[in-house]
Structure 1
């Protein structure tokens, strides 16, 4: 998710530099409900110690209303065709 957020922020800045500023919240679709819940929760648990920086980065962007993480079923995930081996 962190790499996706970084790419979205880069695209937002690029669009702004080209004269197309975006005011809307950027939607990030994820098929992992656990990752969404961890990103939205400000409390750190033992199982999230190794991803603390990434989790805090995503949580910060969610709080600033820059991104919005939405759940999408794995069968409806269009990116899987491009990222998973066929």
Structure 2
């Protein structure tokens, strides 16, 4: 999640430099409920010691209302077609949701 937040901030800064000031909170979708709960939780637990820096970084951006983290089911992660081997059915469904056309399809 921390890397995703960094990328969102980089895109936000780039858009700001181009003259497009973001009007809304940037949304980060995550398929890990535990990670979302840790990011929103105010209490430090024994199990989160190894992610303390990342947790505070994400918490800071949540508190400043720069980002918003929401849950999405693993099967609905559109980015999986770019990072994992998926079935052809999942690939074609995700591709259509992303608006990517098949350039080799007969017209």
- Per the shorter chain, which TM-score range? over 0.9
TM-score by length of 1: 0.96
Task: Give the alignment's Cα RMSD to 1 decimal.
Answer: 0.8
Q: Which has the larger radius of gyration?
A: 2
Aligned position for 2:23: 23
Mapping of 1:42-61 within 5 angstroms?
42-61=42-61
C-alpha distance in 1 between matches for 2:55 and 2:23: 24
The aligned counterpart of 2:41 is 41
Moved beyond 3 Å, runs of 4+: none
Q: Name the CA distance, whole Å, in 1 between partners of 2:58 and 2:42.
A: 10
What is the aligned partner in structure 1 of residue 68 from structure 2? 68
Report 1 or 2 for greater relative contact order, CA contacts < 8 Å, sequence distance ≥ 6.
1
Give the aligned partner of residue 85 of structure 2: 85
State how many pairs are aligned: 86
Query: Where do 5+ consecutive residues of structure 1 fail to align?
Result: none
Q: Deviations over 1:31-76 (max 9, x none)?
A: 0000000001121100000110000000110011000001000010
- TM (norm. structure 2) is 0.77
